[in-house]
C-alpha cells in the first residue's frame, strides 16, 4: 500500500472521529446494537470462513462467534453506565457550592491490530469498545483470515448505514508489518491496541513512547496441582485447555507442576484425557484438535519435539505429523532452558513436571518472564490463598483451567505478557481520557 494511500486512510479516520466524538451514548449504543444484529445474520458464514481460513474446528469457531456476540452485547450494556462519574465536591472543605463530574472523552483515531487465533472475538474486544467510546478505528486484521475479517467489517458497514453513522468510521486496513508500523507512528493515531507476539508488541511499545499503547501479548501458562484433588476430574478439565484448537491460545495450559503425591494418578489420567479428544478434520463437529495455522508452523513445532527429546525429555504421548496437523504431545523430564518450558508453545504441547510440595510448584510456575494466566488446583484453602499471592499473572485461576474466560471480565497480562485489561468496561476506559469538570458557585 503506497504511503499516499496510508495517509488518506488516516485522514479519513480523523474526519470520521471529528464527526463521531460528540455522538451521544444513545447513538453509540444504537450503532453497536445494530452491529450485533448484523453479526447474528451472518454468524454461520463467519464460522465457516473462520474454519476454512484458520483450521479452527468448526464447533470452536461457532463458539467464538457466539462469544463475539456476547462481547458486543456486554459493550452495549457497559455504555449504559460509562462516560461520567459524580465527584462529591460538596463533602470537601473549601468547596462549598461547587459541583464536579469526572467525564471521559474519546482519545481519537485508534489502530487495532488483531491475531489469527481468535480473529472475530478478539477483534470485537477492540473494535466495539473503541467505537463505543467515540473513537474511529483503523483495523489491521490478521492476514490469515481475510474473508472472515471482510465479512465482519461488512456486517459493521450494514449497521453503520442503518444508523447513519459517519463514513469510514471503521476502516479495514490489511497492511503489511512495515505499513502497520507507519500507521502506528502517524501522529494523528491516538492509540494503538495490539494483540500478538511479545517481540512485535514490545517493539511497538519502544517505538511509540508517549502514545497510548495497549498490549495483550504471549503467555506461558502454568498449572500447579496439589495432592488430594481428584486426579481424573482435574485431568479432564485441563486436557482441552492444553490442546483444543491445536493449543493456539495465549492462555493455553502449557507447564504442569504436579505434586509427587498425585503424580502416579494424574499422569495416566491426563494422557488418557488428551487422547480422548478427537483430532482431525476441522469441519467435523466432533473435532477438538485441528491443524496448526500452516504446515511451516507444524514442522517447526515437530522439530522442537525432536530437539527436546534429544536433550533428555521423555515422551508420554506423541503422534505423527500430517501436513499442518500435529497431534498433541505430552513430555516430561524437559530441561528448564527448553523453549517448551521457558517460551510460549502456542501448539498442542504439554510439559509435566513432578514437585515435592505445592509451594515448590508455585515457585516454579512463577519463574517466567510471562504473566498472562496461571492456575492452581487444591482442596486446601490456605494453599489457594497462597497461590493468589505467589502467581504473578493478569489472571490467576483457582480450581479452573487458565483458558477459562468470560468476555465481560477483565483480561490482560503483566511483565512480558502486556499491559492493561481488555473486557468491554476496561477497554472503554483505555480508549478514553478522564477530565475533571468543576463548576463553582453561581455568580
CATH homologous superfamily of 221-398? Aldehyde Dehydrogenase; Chain A, domain 2 (3.40.309.10)
- How does pLDDT run across 312-323, given as a tens digit for each residue? 999 999 999 999
Task: Please list the ranges in the chain whose pLDDT falls under 70.
Answer: 1-2
The residues assigned a catalytic role are 216
Residue where the block lists cell 488516516:
10
CATH homologous superfamily of 3-217+418-439? Aldehyde Dehydrogenase; Chain A, domain 1 (3.40.605.10)
Q: Model-level pTM?
A: 0.95
Task: Please give the full DSSP string across 3-15, using - where no structure is assigned.
Answer: HHHHHHHHHHHHH
- 175 exposure class (CB count in 10 Å sphere: 0-12, 13-18, 19+): buried
- How does pLDDT run across 359-418, given as a tens digit for each residue? 999 999 999 999 999 999 999 999 999 999 999 999 999 999 999 999 999 999 999 999
Q: Per residue, what are the HEC states of 140-201?
A: ECCCCCHHHHHHHHHHHHHHHHHHCCCCCCEEECCCCHHHHHHHHHCCCCCEEEEECCHHHH
Per-residue confidence (pLDDT) for residue 2, from 0 to 100: 60
43, 65 Cβ separation under 8 angstroms: yes
351, 222 Cβ separation under 8 angstroms: no
The secondary structure element, H or E, covering residue 73 is helix 58-79
C-alpha distance from residue 265 to each of 227, 268, 332 (Å): 10, 6, 15
Adjacent-strand bridge partners of 41:
none
| Fold match between domain 3-217+418-439 and domain 221-398 | no
The helix-helix angle for 177-185 and 3-20 (nearest 10°) equals 50
Per-residue confidence (pLDDT) for residue 90, from 0 to 100: 83
Enumerate the domain spans of the chain.
3-217+418-439, 221-398
Amino acid at each position: 500500500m503506497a504511503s499516499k494511500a496510508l495517509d488518506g486512510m488516516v485522514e479519513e479516520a480523523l474526519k470520521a472521529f471529528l464527526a463521531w466524538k460528540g455522538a451521544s451514548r444513545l447513538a453509540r449504543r444504537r450503532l453497536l446494537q445494530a452491529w450485533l444484529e448484523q453479526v447474528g445474520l451472518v454468524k454461520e458464514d463467519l464460522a465457516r470462513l473462520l474454519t476454512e481460513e484458520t483450521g479452527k474446528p468448526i464447533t470452536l469457531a461457532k463458539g467464538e462467534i457466539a462469544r463475539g456476540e456476547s462481547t458486543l452485547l456486554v459493550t452495549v450494556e457497559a455504555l449504559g453506565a460509562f462516560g461520567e462519574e459524580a465527584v462529591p465536591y460538596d463533602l470537601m472543605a473549601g468547596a462549598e457550592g461547587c459541583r464536579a463530574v469526572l467525564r471521559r472523552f474519546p482519545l481519537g483515531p485508534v489502530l487495532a491490530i488483531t491475531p489469527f487465533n481468535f480473529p472475530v472475538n478478539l477483534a470485537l474486544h477492540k473494535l466495539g469498545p473503541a467505537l463505543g467510546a467515540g473513537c474511529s478505528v483503523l483495523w489491521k486484521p490478521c492476514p490469515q483470515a481475510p474473508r472472515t475479517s471482510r465479512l465482519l467489517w461488512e456486517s459493521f458497514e450494514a449497521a453503520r448505514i442503518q444508523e447513519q453513522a459517519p463514513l469510514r468510521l471503521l476502516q479495514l486496513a490489511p497492511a503489511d508489518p512495515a505499513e502497520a508500523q507507519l500507521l502506528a507512528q502517524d501522529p494523528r493515531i491516538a492509540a494503538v491496541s495490539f494483540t500478538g507476539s511479545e517481540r512485535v508488541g514490545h517493539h511497538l511499545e519502544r517505538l511509540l513512547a508517549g502514545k497510548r499503547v495497549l498490549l495483550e501479548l504471549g503467555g506461558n501458562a502454568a498449572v500447579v496441582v496439589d495432592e488430594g484433588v481428584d486426579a481424573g476430574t482435574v485431568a479432564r478439565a485441563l486436557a482441552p485447555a492444553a490442546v483444543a484448537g491445536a493449543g493456539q491460545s495465549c492462555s493455553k495450559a502449557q507447564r504442569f507442576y504436579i505434586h509427587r503425591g498425585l503424580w502416579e494418578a494424574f499422569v495416566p489420567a491426563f494422557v488418557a484425557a488428551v487422547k480422548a479428544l478427537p483430532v482431525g478434520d476441522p469441519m467435523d463437529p466432533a473435532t477438538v484438535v485441528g491443524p496448526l495455522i500452516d504446515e511451516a508452523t507444524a514442522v517447526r513445532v515437530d522439530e522442537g519435539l525432536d530437539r527436546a527429546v534429544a536433550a533428555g525429555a521423555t515422551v508420554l504421548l506423541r503422534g505423527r505429523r500430517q501436513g499442518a496437523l500435529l497431534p498433541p504431545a505430552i513430555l516430561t523430564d524437559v530441561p528448564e532452558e527448553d523453549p517448551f518450558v521457558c517460551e510460549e508453545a502456542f501448539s498442542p504441547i504439554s510439559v509435566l513436571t513432578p514437585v515435592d510440595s505445592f509451594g515448590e510448584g508455585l515457585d516454579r510456575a512463577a519463574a517466567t518472564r510471562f504473566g498472562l494466566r496461571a492456575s492452581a488446583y487444591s482442596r486446601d484453602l490456605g494453599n489457594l490463598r497462597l497461590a493468589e499471592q505467589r502467581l504473578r499473572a493478569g489472571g490467576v485461576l483457582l480450581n479452573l483451567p487458565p483458558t477459562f474466560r468470560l468476555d465481560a471480565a477483565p483480561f490482560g497480562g503483566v511483565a512480558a505478557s502486556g499491559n492493561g485489561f481488555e473486557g468491554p468496561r476496561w477497554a472503554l476506559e483505555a480508549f478514553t481520557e478522564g477530565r475533571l469538570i468543576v463548576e463553582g458557585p453561581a455568580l
